[in-house]
Chain A
């Protein structure tokens, strides 16, 4: 703990402020279940990091701790060198996209997207302008006045992403956002997400249990394992962006997928031994 504090502020090569620092954060539930063993993880600005692992590996728990929705039992989490609860002081913003669209069923698409601005007290005219912009980004301008139930699952997810983008966040946390969608819609949304990430220079932390999705999207994959939830390995996916459908059928893609697959197998073998 004392080392970062001791490092001089005028270091010769000033490294950019990391977006996320997880410092031995762990989570144990009151009943003794270890949801997550201590994790150390640094995420630089502009990275696209995927947390990949089977159910129960604590990937959602880790993401929710980064968001401040869950408190770590021990350890700390910093966002732009500030504790999660004081993110506002850093002048940075984050947005969270849930597994389900979590829209208000009684409100129009436009009202749903405007929600974070309304909660923050942004004046109506400015808010409306930003909502229009966000809806255009996800290609839903025509559906501003529709109710969520009139939209397909994929479109509802787009609304959810637009609601995330409307605050112009620096970081997007996504908890298996496309897990409930069919594969075709999912590929489309994955590609669109990559576009947005590059266009808006976002930092993205993306939770998934799909190896292919992880390889396609990420600049770095954090492999996790279950019982107890923990980080086992990290992989850099060095394929250049923009990544297209061609990337998905390239030998390089298969090589990465195999690498992750093997890692996942090793991790689950460990688990079975622990259980036995």
Chain B
């Protein structure tokens, strides 16, 4: 406390040692004080992390788009190789009838697959934590499921399952399943040992321990799994659509990309790509929001930002 800092010749030792003792006479040396005082008050808009988190990525995006537009115009690139962003947006509007329907199909498959994967993943995790023996016996198969490329399995599933939507949902759910299983299982096991002992001391039943201790402890891990799986569900849905290649009614965005490729309609391809990316971003934002709502008050991953 009372040791002055010899490495800081600028600051007078008295002020450094007792910053609170000399508030009136304290001149320039105490640089940290006004800054620390200002933080609780509202800083200028651009200094708020909340605003920065939106503004910075948007700025980068705008610069990239401008660059893209500029390059396409300057190098006179033909639209069948690289369409300009403006043309892409135009196509998005003119072809909305086809693209919008496809978007709906892809979103539907993704969301259904995500829900199926979540429910199945959670159930499997509960099964795993019942006994180490069950987990040891079954976990390798969960890994097998994860490492087998879905592109290789999808044709089989599409042959076996008559309904095209159902078959694609199964494919996408298989891709999205593993992170939910592994994260939730880890979470259900990651209970603070002393807290576990406390429940044991109070003669808590298995059900009480599950509901009041294991499930809340697992939530941060579970939501981490959800965030990964939401993205994987979309990838799975697109891959399944590619493999299935169904046309006509009920064709998803992947089909639009395939068709546009055949017809060399590159602007439409880009528009469909944009929609897929936006869907992924929307899913991620939704999951981040859900996580914050569920853990906002207490978990370190959500409380350390502000």
B305 to chain A, nearest CB (A): 14
In the complex, whether B199 has a CB less than 8 A from a CB of chain A is yes
In the complex, whether A236 has a CB less than 8 A from a CB of chain B is no
Q: For A149, what are the chain B residues with a Cβ–Cβ distance below 8 Å?
A: 298, 303
In the complex, whether A240 has a CB less than 8 A from a CB of chain B is no
Q: Known contacts A104-B216, A106-B216: does B298 contact A98 (CB below 8 Å)?
A: no
In the complex, whether A210 has a CB less than 8 A from a CB of chain B is no
Binds A, one of B135-143, B160-168, B201-209: B201-209
Q: Is the interface of B mostly helix, strand, loop or mixed?
A: helix
Whether A98 lies near B198 (C-beta < 8 A) is yes
- Give how many A-B residue pairs fall within 8 Å (CB-CB): 48
Q: For B200, what are the chain A residues with a Cβ–Cβ distance below 8 Å?
A: 69
Whether B202 lies near A147 (C-beta < 8 A) is no
For B197, B208, B299, the residue with the greatest tally of chain A CB atoms inside 10 Å of its CB is B197
Chain B: interface residue total (CB-CB under 8 A):
21
A46 to chain B, nearest CB (A): 22
In the complex, whether A119 has a CB less than 8 A from a CB of chain B is yes
Whether B297 lies near A69 (C-beta < 8 A) is no
In the complex, whether B105 has a CB less than 8 A from a CB of chain A is no
Cβ-defined partner of A120 (8 Å) among B202, B219, B303: B202
Cβ-defined partner of A106 (8 Å) among B203, B208, B297: B297
Cβ-defined partner of A119 (8 Å) among B203, B295, B298: B203
Whether A119 lies near B297 (C-beta < 8 A) is no
> In the bound complex, how far is the Cα of B171 from the Cα of A68, in angstroms?
50
> In the bound complex, how far is the Cα of B298 from the Cα of A69, in angstroms?
29
Q: Scan B78-95; emit 1 where CB is below 8 A from any A CB, else 0.
A: 000000000000000000
Q: List the B residue with the shortest CB-CB distance to A103.
A: B195
Q: List the A residue with the shortest CB-CB distance to B209.
A: A119
- Residues on B facing A (Cβ under 8 Å): 192, 194-195, 197-204, 208, 212-213, 216, 219, 295, 297-299, 303
Please name 17 pairs of A and B residues whose Cβ atoms are closer than 8 Å in the assembled complex, sorted by A. Answer: A67-B201, A69-B197, A69-B200, A99-B194, A100-B194, A102-B198, A104-B212, A104-B213, A105-B299, A106-B298, A107-B216, A116-B202, A119-B199, A119-B202, A119-B204, A120-B203, A147-B298
